[in-house]
């Protein structure tokens, strides 16, 4: 078994995922990065842009919505590395619409990607962590899973579901020294948000007590705290990084 710690990050090429990988590599982790096959051609460019070497990252090319293929691909990567110390469930999508107009497809796509894939990714990792008797799992929720959001009934349902899932898993993992926590970002400057019209972003910023979007580095820093030795007694917790937008 390798001495180097291993972290599996889903949605690794995204705005927040990339920053989480950057901070984990800086802290000495080897990354298992899940990447949807359509992103395949971006892998090499991403490694170059991030200044990572091929030995920093093992890519797992899989659509997490394809349960059997994704579980098999993740299991293969864990077996190849021989260990997994950290899991960050970060992949997520939005399909916004008011509930009145929401299609069943918009509803199901968000449930599939944001919630159902937690089973697919977490079970093989959790089983390995049980065997190792150690591990840290950080699930990425959202401020809108805590407070709800107009036009996001689907997304808010999944992001609240992630919190319930994490609390249950924290109880199952505790005896094996596995801590499971949640980071709930507020509006963060990634393409998911910066693609919005400028006036929409300005109106969002005006509602945030700290008057600005979060930087991806600030979300990744919360993840790094939860996987650090400093957080060894923290489990089942939700850490909000939202500039004061919602205080719970
Ligand atoms: N940006 C924000 O303001 C914000 C706020 C709160 C929470 N979040 C959450 O943070 C996480 C990351 O968001 P982001 O802003 O970096 O988004 P992003 O769109 O930049 O990244 C999301 C990643 O998930 C991957 N993904 C989507 N569907 C997938 C699937 N079926 N299989 C595998 N991978 C898949 C995408 O390919 C992408 O790499 C998400 O869970 C999001 O809900 C973001």
Q: What is the pLDDT of residues 199-210, one digit of tens each?
A: 999 999 999 999
Which residue's alpha carbon is at the smallest distance from atom 1 of ligand 1? Answer: 188
- Cβ–ligand 1 distance for 209 under 6 Å, the answer no
- Partners of 222 in the beta sheet? none
Residue ranges of the domains in the chain?
A: 6-188+216-237
- Cβ–ligand 1 distance for 192 under 6 Å, the answer yes
Q: Are 102 and 153 in contact (CB under 8 A)?
A: yes
Atom of ligand 1 nearest to the CA of 213: 3
* Widest Cα–Cα separation across the chain: 53
pLDDT at site 198: 93
Q: Are 64 and 91 in contact (CB under 8 A)?
A: yes
Average pLDDT, the chain: 96
- Cβ–ligand 1 distance for 215 under 6 Å, the answer no
195 or 121, which is more confident: 121
The model carries a pTM of 0.97
Which residue in this structure is represented by tokens 């962590």? 129
CA neighbor of 229 nearest in space, from 165, 163, 179, 183: 179
CATH number assigned to the domain covering 6-188+216-237: 3.40.50.720
Q: Is 187 a catalytic residue?
A: no
């Amino acid at each position: 078994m390798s001495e180097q710690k291993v972290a599996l990050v889903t949605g690794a090429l995204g705005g927040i995922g990339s920053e989480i990988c950057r901070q984990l590599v800086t802290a000495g982790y080897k990354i298992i990065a899940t990447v949807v096959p359509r992103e395949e051609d971006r892998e090499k460019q991403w490694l170059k842009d991030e200044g990572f070497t091929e030995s920093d990252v093992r890519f797992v090319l899989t659509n997490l919505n394809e349960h059997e293929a994704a579980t098999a691909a993740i299991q293969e990567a864990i077996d190849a590395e021989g260990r997994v110390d950290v899991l960050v469930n970060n992949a997520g999508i939005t399909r916004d619409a008011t509930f009145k107009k929401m299609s069943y497809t918009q509803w199901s796509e968000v449930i599939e990607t944001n919630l159902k894939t937690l089973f697919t990714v977490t079970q093989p990792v959790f089983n390995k962590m049980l065997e190792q008797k150690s591990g840290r799992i950080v699930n990425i929720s959202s401020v809108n899973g805590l407070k709800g959001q107009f036009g996001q009934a689907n997304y808010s349902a999944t992001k609240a579901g992630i919190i319930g899932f994490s609390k249950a898993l924290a109880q199952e993992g505790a005896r094996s020294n596995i801590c499971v926590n949640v980071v709930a970002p507020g509006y963060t400057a990634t393409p998911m948000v910066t693609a919005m019209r400028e006036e929409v972003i300005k109106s969002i910023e005006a509602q945030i007590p700290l008057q600005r979007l979060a930087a991806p580095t600030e979300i990744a820093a919360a993840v790094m705290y939860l996987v650090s030795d400093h957080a060894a007694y923290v489990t089942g917790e939700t850490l909000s990084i939202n500039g004061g937008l919602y205080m719970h």
